[in-house]
Amino acid sequence: LGYAGGTSFVIPCESVGCKRDEITLIRNATESNSYIANGIDLKPGDEVLMTDQEHPGGLQPWRLRAKRYGVAVKTVTLPKPVRNASQVLNLFNDAIGDRTRVIFFSHITTVTGVALLPRSCAVARSKNVLSAVDGVHVIGMMRLNLQEIGCDMYSSSPHKWLQAPKGSGFLYVRDEVIDRMWNTMATEGWNEPNLRAERFQRVDSSNVPALWGLLATINLANEIGIDRIERPIVDVS
Ligand SMILES: Cc1ncc(COP(=O)(O)O)c(C=O)c1O
């Protein structure tokens, strides 16, 4: 059944503002970003808009899609430093064009550590553009509320700040978008809509112990209190 599909494995999703049905447990953010880049229907010439500060694990899945299927990857250049949220919002707003189908950006970038505010997702939604967020540097470091962010997809690697075992990533897909996404791996259940996001984690044999490690680190972070972890980090940054 792959990564804990069909077991009693419980991930406390309420604390990140989503339903269990919207979360897929896979290996890491690179894998999640690849599922996103492979999974959305795009025609040659359709555009994906991203920032110039994306990690290779976020950028390269789109480059592959571009090379193989003729999708265009367009980049907005973030100011260094970003002075306020409106700067980024305006950049995305101005760069979204008739062919833009997806915006992809890091919640916190790996290059400068700037936190890109989620209002960009609302701008995208208002223009009928999907938003996908790479959230590697958020889980375990600051409070996350996927509903407030309003993105369509969100990927993460909790081994970073949560100190979860490597190989225990997740992909969030908003319920309304799940049926639009193709699977990348296929075994029993790949095309079964009732499984919701669990259909993406049907990868057969996999590293289930890593998920128990993930659960332990979530429980530990909740015990300490995510606000208590976040406060000093935001203070020093
Ligand atoms: C923003 C961002 N995305 C993706 C990745 C890739 O993470 P992983 O190797 O766990 O897939 C990293 C790793 O540093 C990252 O910083």
Q: Which atom of ligand 1 is nearest to the CA of 169?
A: 10
Q: Ranked by mean pLDDT, which of 116-125, 151-160, 197-206, 209-218 comes out on top?
A: 151-160
Distance (Å) from CA 194 to ligand 1 centroid: 30
Q: Considering the chain, what percentage of its residues have pLDDT values greater than 90?
A: 79
- Determine the residue of 55, 62, 159, 214 to mutate for testing ligand 1's pocket, defined as the one with the most ligand atoms within 8 A of the Cβ atom: 55
pLDDT confidence of residue 146: 94
Q: Which residues contact 207 (CB under 8 A, 6 or more apart)?
A: 3, 27, 167, 168
Cβ atoms of residues 165 and 134 within 8 Å = no
Give the single-character DSSP code of 14.
G
Q: What's the pLDDT score for residue 8?
A: 53
* Strand segments (E) across 57-202: 72-76, 100-106, 130-134, 153-156, 169-173
Whole-angstrom Cα distance, residue 30 to residue 57? 5
CA 32 from centroid of its chain's CA atoms: 7
Mean of the per-residue pLDDT values for the chain? 92
How big is the chain, counted in residues?
A: 237
Structural tokens at position 228: 């208590």
The closest residue, in CA terms, to atom 3 on ligand 1 is: 55
Q: Can you give the pLDDT at residue 14?
A: 78
Q: How far is the CA of 160 from the centre of ligand 1 (A)?
A: 8
Nearest CA to ligand 1 atom 5: 57
Q: What is the mean pLDDT of residues 114-140?
A: 91
For position 1, what pLDDT does the model report? 45
pLDDT score for 53 = 96
pTM equals 0.95
**Ligand 1 midpoint to CA 29 (Å):** 6
Q: pLDDT-derived band of residue 115, with 50, 70 and 90 as boundaries? A: confident
pLDDT at 191: 95
Protein residues with CB under 6 Å of any ligand 1 atom = 28-30, 55, 57-58, 106, 110, 134, 136-137, 157
Contacts by residues 158-162 (CB-CB < 8 Å, ≥ 24 positions apart) = 158/214, 158/217, 158/218, 159/28, 160/136, 161/137, 162/214, 162/217, 162/218, 162/221
pLDDT tens sequence across 178-222? 999 999 999 999 999 999 999 999 988 888 899 889 999 999 999
The pair of structure tokens assigned to 153 is 């997809």
| The pLDDT of residue 205 | 86
pLDDT at 7 over 60: no
Which atom of ligand 1 lies closest to the CA of 31?
A: 11
Residue 237 confidence (pLDDT): 79
Q: What's the CA gap between 121 and 132, in Å, rounded?
A: 8
Of the residues 34, 110, 170, which should be mutated to test ligand 1's pocket, given the most ligand atoms within 8 Å of the CB? Answer: 110
154 C-alpha to center of ligand 1: Å?
13
Average pLDDT over residues 98-124: 91
Listed in sequence order, the residues at least 6 apart from 29 whose beta carbon sits closer than 8 Å to its beta carbon are 55, 57, 58, 134, 135, 136, 155, 156, 157, 169
Among protein residues, the one whose CA lies closest to atom 6 of ligand 1: 57
Q: What are 28-80's pLDDT values in tens digits? A: 999 999 999 999 999 999 999 999 999 999 999 999 999 999 999 999 999 99
Tell which wins on pLDDT, 82 or 66: 66
Contacts of 210 (CB under 8 A, 6+ apart): 164, 165, 166, 167, 168
